[in-house]
Amino acid sequence: MSASEEILRLLKSIDASLKALVAQSAQAGGKGIADDRDLESQHGNPVVKFHPRDWIGPPCKGRKFSECPPDFLDMLAETFDYFAGKAEEAGEQTSTGKPVAPYKRKDAARARGWAKRIREGRHVPASTERDPEFADQEPF
């Protein structure tokens, strides 16, 4: 295979990859959705530490993302996106000097990923036990 053929093959591969990424982004309304690998990782199923301002359903504070209703997770994701934008505007950083916004966007993507799994029936919330840190919060 000549060098020009190899370059053309590589460019076609890049084009196909970009098209797939754009399609995935469009499905999420331009927002990221965590994949199975991320959701199964050590940090892929965080505990809910707050309720979005407009949430009127059952309390979810103290539950893991995988234990929450998909509508709640959608609203939580939007809230994380909002917080990420504010953190970016303010130049907010972690104690180690890293930007905070990407972490908030990662949590938003994880919330969307769990909501998608639950809606598709690939995960059925099994437990409603809360994290001990939030045991003193109102009951479900």
Q: Which residues contact 71 (CB under 8 A, 6 or more apart)?
A: 57, 115
Cα separation, 98 vs 87, in Å, equals: 12
Cα separation, 30 vs 22, in Å, equals: 8
Residue 122's pLDDT is 83
Please tell me which residue, 71 or 2, carries the higher pLDDT value. Answer: 71
3-state secondary structure of 97: coil
Cα separation, 20 vs 109, in Å, equals: 17
Residue 98's pLDDT is 93
Residue 49's pLDDT is 96
Distances (CA, A) of 107 to 9, 32, 81, 84: 36, 10, 9, 10
Q: Indicate yes or no: pTM above 0.75.
A: no
Please determine, for residue 128, whether its predicted confidence score (pLDDT) is greater than 60.
no
Please tell me which residue, 36 or 27, carries the higher pLDDT value. Answer: 36
Please determine, for residue 37, whether its predicted confidence score (pLDDT) is greater than 90.
yes
Distances (CA, A) of 71 to 2, 3, 57, 65, 133: 53, 52, 9, 12, 24
Mean pLDDT of 90-96: 93
Mean pLDDT of 53-81: 95
